[in-house]
Structure 1
Amino acid sequence: MNRAYSEVALVPYDERWPRRFESTKKELRAAFSTDLIEHIGSTSVPGLSSKDTVDVVVGVPDVVRTLNPRTLSKLSALGFEYIPSSFAADADHSFLHRIIQEQRTDHVHVMRLGSDALQGRLLFRDYLRATPAAVIEYEQAKQELVARFHDRRDDYVAQKQPVVEALLEKARAWMKESR
């Protein structure tokens, strides 16, 4: 089985991740006509270890209309594979990934502008960037989970979700206090 589908490995923060994001963003501009293409996920937080996969969110007015055959063809030509089964229950969220030599290089989340899910992704990133204690908490949880589930990617992702949700609750309180 392709390691990109089964294994999880965390690496220390890499100063090249922001440049990789900018490169991916330029590529995505060829497929999407939107102003919102943002770096999210652990690779967007200086000092945080991560899987070596750059996460990107693309905000669009309508996910289904945007991911039409013409757009998907452009994305496929860039090496992105559309995974319709990911987030299938959410019409406001679709997912693509790019895998090169059994390495996930990019994840692209196409989300409806203004949706709670998109706002949550950006808030989570901003909270981690602004809160060193949250970075430490998240780092410890991820290290513990990867030690248990390094060869079971789906289990790692599932077990990490409650950690993300708890931190997102803290992020929402932080946002209210910051106003």
Structure 2
Amino acid sequence: MHKKVLSDLTKEEIGKLFPIEISEYDTNWPIIYKAERDRIVKNINPNFFSRIEHFGSTSVPGLSSKNTIDILLAVKFDDTKNQEFIEQMKNIGYDFNWQNEDENPHMVFLKGYDPEKPKQQTYHIHAAPQDHILWNRIHFRNYLITHPEIAKAYEDLKKSLADKYKRERVKYRIAKTDFITEITKKSLPGNIGSSER
């Protein structure tokens, strides 16, 4: 009998099994990230990626978040290497898909979404070349770390949206976009401080 995986589920089933829940900051999150980073470094051919970073809310000390570790990998988009890379990621438990919702698609790997054990630790890995717009999220992360009042505003927004879109993960993500875009623009090198003078 085929065991159901995430890709077998409808959006409604995903929302029911894996609702959006914002948790208080957990000091274990950086430790969990480091353990997963080490697993990737140990099991994935080093020729397939050149940089690995913890990003997203769990990378910002003190910030409430979904209990999902977000990881960013620098990869080159290459058909042959990508296929080998995807297979190696599957071997350490990741499901793969392309995120094509905007004009800058990138690779996404998910782990921990087992319909039979929905309370596992979850991981989202986003992979793209280092000149991809996705890497601006590192500037966003750093800005939140150095601007606690903005981090608090982001936390409040997320809690509000989590209540509104508890079982609608895509709507939740899209509803955060304007805030993330605005703060990311401020966070880019050359822009920091320009609106605060």
Structure 2 length-normalised TM: 0.79
- Indicate how the Cα distance of structure 1 residues 135 and 80 shifts in structure 2: closer, same or farther if over 3 A, else same: same
Is the 1:59–1:112 Cα contact (8 Å) retained in structure 2? yes
- Indicate how the Cα distance of structure 1 residues 67 and 49 shifts in structure 2: closer, same or farther if over 3 A, else same: farther
Question: What residue number does 2:87 align with?
Answer: 73
The CA RMSD over aligned residues, in Å, is: 2.4
Question: What residue number does 1:11 align with?
Answer: 23
Measure the CA separation in 2 of the matches of 1:129 and 1:32: 32
Structure 1, unmatched stretches of 5+, are none
- Indicate how the Cα distance of structure 1 residues 107 and 4 shifts in structure 2: closer, same or farther if over 3 A, else same: farther
Question: What residue number does 1:94 align with?
Answer: 107
- Indicate how the Cα distance of structure 1 residues 48 and 67 shifts in structure 2: closer, same or farther if over 3 A, else same: farther
Question: What residue number does 1:110 align with?
Answer: 127
Where 2:182 maps in the other structure, the secondary structure is helix
Measure the CA separation in 1 of the matches of 2:17 and 2:79: 28
Question: What residue number does 2:142 align with?
Answer: 126
- Indicate how the Cα distance of structure 1 residues 158 and 67 shifts in structure 2: closer, same or farther if over 3 A, else same: farther
| CA apart distance, 1:115 | 2.5
Is the 1:63–1:91 Cα contact (8 Å) retained in structure 2? no
Measure the CA separation in 2 of the matches of 1:133 and 1:93: 31
Structure with the bigger percentage of helix: 1
Is the 1:63–1:92 Cα contact (8 Å) retained in structure 2? no
Is the 1:98–1:107 Cα contact (8 Å) retained in structure 2? yes
Task: Kindly provide the amino acid, as one letter, of the partner of residue 158 in structure 1.
Answer: I
Q: How many residues in Structure 1 have an aligned counterpart in Structure 2?
A: 175
Instruction: Spell out, residue by residue over 1:81-117, the C-alpha distance to the aligned partner (whole angstroms, 9 max, x if none).
Output: 0012x23665662111102422461000111023232
- Identity across matched positions, percent: 25
Where 1:110 maps in the other structure, the secondary structure is strand
- Indicate how the Cα distance of structure 1 residues 68 and 82 shifts in structure 2: closer, same or farther if over 3 A, else same: same
Instruction: Spell out, residue by residue over 1:143-162, the C-alpha distance to the aligned partner (whole angstroms, 9 max, x if none).
Output: 11111111211111111111
Structure 1 length-normalised TM: 0.86
Task: Kindly provide the amino acid, as one letter, of the partner of residue 138 in structure 1.
Answer: Y
Superposition pairs of residues 1-179 of structure 1, within 5 angstroms: 1-3=13-15, 7-29=19-41, 30-33=43-46, 34-60=49-75, 62-65=76-79, 68-84=82-98, 86-87=99-100, 93-99=106-112, 100=114, 101-102=117-118, 103=120, 105-118=122-135, 120-172=136-188, 173-174=191-192
The structure having more radius of gyration, on CA atoms, is 2
Measure the CA separation in 2 of the matches of 1:42 and 1:65: 31
